[in-house]
Structure formats: structure tokens, C-alpha cells
Amino acid sequence: MNDTKDLTFEEVKETCALLRQMGEKTTPQNLAKELGVKKTEMMRFINEHKNHFEMTQWRHKDKYNHVTKEWVIVDNVYADPAYNPDAPEYVERKKGEHIIRLCKIDYYGYIYGCHLAEEPKAWENQDADVVKFLAIPEVKDIIKFNFGGLGDSYEVEFKHAFRKKDAEAVFNAMIAAKLTPCIYDKAITRFEDLVEG
């Protein structure tokens, strides 16, 4: 077994990407197994460097809609927390910028919609166009999506999200607010980029 002090953020990020390519979940348990560290040590490493990790909480529900299992997925790893939308350092870096980062809500290649990868507090003290964009009805404070099939489904909550059918209206509102929409740090120039798998 390795020691977590030997781990680098780049190594954890690469392992996440490789697990995704193989169709595996990027849970702390799977990362620990691949990186040769104890599960508890991996979780301790994540907790000690939480501003470097973007995480999502998942819930599995049975056919009676009871939560039977919960787990955490590592969505992304950042060497510099200033680029992690979940970290306070990111909000500091974003002050005065007009870039808005989005993540697709993807289930086996089917796009359900997108969610803002940053909290709206990153946009406080912005001009009236940005404030107007944040108030559009298509962008919901919380949207719940159910994934899976009958008897084997789970629910995921996304903050500041919009559904696939609203992508064009949201994209047009971003452009009108002079925002540059980005998916995974790549600027997009057409609304179809938000909904294509």
C-alpha cells in the first residue's frame, strides 16, 4: 500500500479520467483501489484537500422510493483550487470575469440538461445584465433528476440547473448578458453544444 502523502492531484485526476473511460464510478473507494491506498486514507486525503475536489452525492432508491444506498462521486480534481467552482478561491478568481461554466447532466450519453458549475454568489456585484440572466425562469434553484429503471433507480439533485428543452433560451440569455458559456472549460458558440452527448 502507498501512503497518501505520495499522491498528487494530477495522479488522482488521471485515475478519475481512466475509470470514467472504463465505465467505472469515480468513488473514493475505486480511486483508493486503483491508487493502492486504504479507502479511509483516500477519504482523509480528499477531506484534507476538499477545495481541490468537485464532488456529487448520489442516492440509489428501490421501487418503493426508499433510499437504499448513498455514495459520493469525485467529478473533478484541481491542482489549483482557484479553478474548482466548489471552492472559495474560485469565487475570488471569478470576480470581474464574464465566463459561466456549465456541466452536462449526462446519463449514458443522454443529456438531460445542464447545471451551473459555480454558485451564483460568484456573480454578486455584477452588472444588471448578469443579474437579469440569473433570474430567468428556465434556470431552477434545484432540479431533481431520476436515473435508472423501475426498481433500480436513483435521484440526483442539481443546483442552478436547466432542462434540455430550455437549453436554447438559456444560451440566448447568456449571450444577451455578454457571458461566455463554457462546458468543461471549453467556450461554446451554439446552444446545441449544451444538449449533444
Q: Which of 79, 111, 131 is the last residue before a domain boundary? A: 79
Same domain, 64 and 121: no
Do 71 and 105 lie in one domain? The reply is no
pTM for the full model? 0.53
What rounded mean pLDDT belongs to the chain? Answer: 82
The set of long-range contacts for 64-72, using a CB threshold of 8 Å and a minimum separation of 24, is 71/25, 71/27, 72/27, 72/28
The kind and range of the H/E element at 129 are helix 128-134
Taking only the tens of pLDDT, the chain with its 197 residues reads 556 668 899 999 999 999 989 999 899 999 999 999 999 999 999 999 999 998 888 888 777 878 788 888 898 899 888 888 777 787 677 666 677 778 888 887 788 888 887 766 655 556 676 777 777 888 888 888 888 777 777 788 888 888 889 989 988 888 888 787 888 666 677 888 887 76
Domain assignment of residue 35, given as a range: 1-79
Euclidean distance between CA atoms 177 and 132, whole angstroms? 8
Tell me if 84 is assigned to some domain.
no
**Tally of structural domains, the chain:** 2
Pair (126, 68) in one structural domain: no
Are residue 106 and residue 59 in the same domain, yes or no? Answer: no
Whether residue 153 is contained in a domain is answered as yes
- In a domain? residue 100: yes
pLDDT at residue 27 in the model: 92
Residue with cell 444588471: 128
Q: Could you report how far apart the first and last alpha carbons of the chain are, in Å? A: 38
In terms of domains, do 114 and 196 share one? yes
Per-residue pLDDT of 29-43, as tens digits, reads 999 999 999 999 999
Query: Is position 65 within any domain?
Result: yes
Residues 130 and 73: their CA atoms lie apart, in Å, by 31
